Amino acid sequence: MEVERIFKDFKIRILGVILLVLTCLPNIALPEDFALSKIASLSKPWGLSFINESELLITERTGKIKIVNIYNGEVLEIQHNLNFKNKGQGGLLDIIYKDNQVWISYTEKIGFLKYGTSVAKGKFSRKEMIFHNIFQQNSASSSGAHFGGRLLIKDQHLFASIGERGLGKIAQDPKKHPGSIIRINLDGTIPKNNPHFVDKPNWKPDIFQIGVRNPQGIAKSINGEKIYISNHGARGGDWIGLVKKGENYGWNILGWGGVNYNGSEIGPKWKPGFTKAIKYWTPSIGVSAIKFYRGEEFQEWNGKMLVASLRGMSLSIIDGLEDADPNEEMIFTNRINRIRDIEVYPKNGKIYLLGEKYFSEDGPEDDGLWVLEKKK
């Protein structure tokens, strides 16, 4: 069984290389008045969150939590007690700092040779953080793919994306976490106005929305009223859409414009009865982090959405998300490898990016933290 698993993971890696070559975006140079600078080297960085005006808290998928000083590049490693598993696409995932508390998503071993997405909370410390789980997905799988893991806090609730673990139709089962968006209180208890308590009695109480595949980005609108997610399709069918209470994005009844990796059909792009996404990409770009921009550094982008990609190794800006056909403007491609996460510095609007290599041949640079700013 273990030999079969290793062979399957190897096939996934080879397929990933092939798809990377087939779907690479054109090389787009950085605008002449922009500067992109590396602050610190890291290893498989995944999530980042400001803890003060000079430091970012960063996860590495391989298992480390670090503090990076954005001015001098100094790196401090923090010890922790998480029982994580760096398997396939899994490991330490997203992280949020707020009011001296830290929330983190990660891959945890759940049963014999099975793994899933968990969320833990702990008090911030520069030496060692002691976490305790506030969420653990059910229906764990031996797969190393599609953990989701993005986190967002809104109105004293924590939203988390849970990938469907490569299991497809499980995303249509509202009693199972894979392929869903969950909403819990900041302490892990369950809000009494979640769908289960309103009009979806057969839904698991912490599930807020179903039918997603592998959401890798989540962001609040500028006014804080709406939540958007980005989601990976299969071979085509990446999208950005709204988080909507009690609704269903349709995976894998819908294919969102894509097909399976073997070329077989999945389903229609959309049909009535399911939530419709706002922006689609076919072929896939590996859409990852999203963030609405607010700041002084790039005033022309205020109110627009920053969109990063893994496979496309790109950063773009999207305007008109309320329109039928939002406009996308590419900022650059192929400069810092796969872009995993985005933060905007509240003080001046400079943009901080995590770049990583998935395979050794990916991209022009090593893993690290970068800053995008305008030349002085």
The number of folded domains in the chain is 1
The answer to whether 354 touches 66, Cβ cutoff 8 Å, is no
CATH of the domain at 112: 2.120.10.30
359: confidence class by pLDDT, cuts 50, 70, 90: low
* Per-residue pLDDT at 18: 47
As a whole number of angstroms, the distance between CA 264 and CA 241 comes to 25
Reference 308, options 251, 352, 255; nearest CA is 352
Which letter does DSSP use for residue 73 in this model?
-
* Per-residue pLDDT at 6: 44
Mean pLDDT value across the chain:
93
323: confidence class by pLDDT, cuts 50, 70, 90: confident
pLDDT tens-place string over residues 95-152: 999 999 999 999 999 989 999 999 999 999 999 999 999 999 999 999 999 999 999 9
- CB hemisphere CA count around 342 (13 angstroms): 29
Give me the domain span that covers residue 216.
2-374
* Per-residue pLDDT at 17: 46
pLDDT tens-place string over residues 33-54: 999 999 999 999 999 999 999 9
pLDDT tens-place string over residues 237-257: 999 999 999 999 999 999 999
User: Does residue 214 register a pLDDT over 90?
Assistant: yes
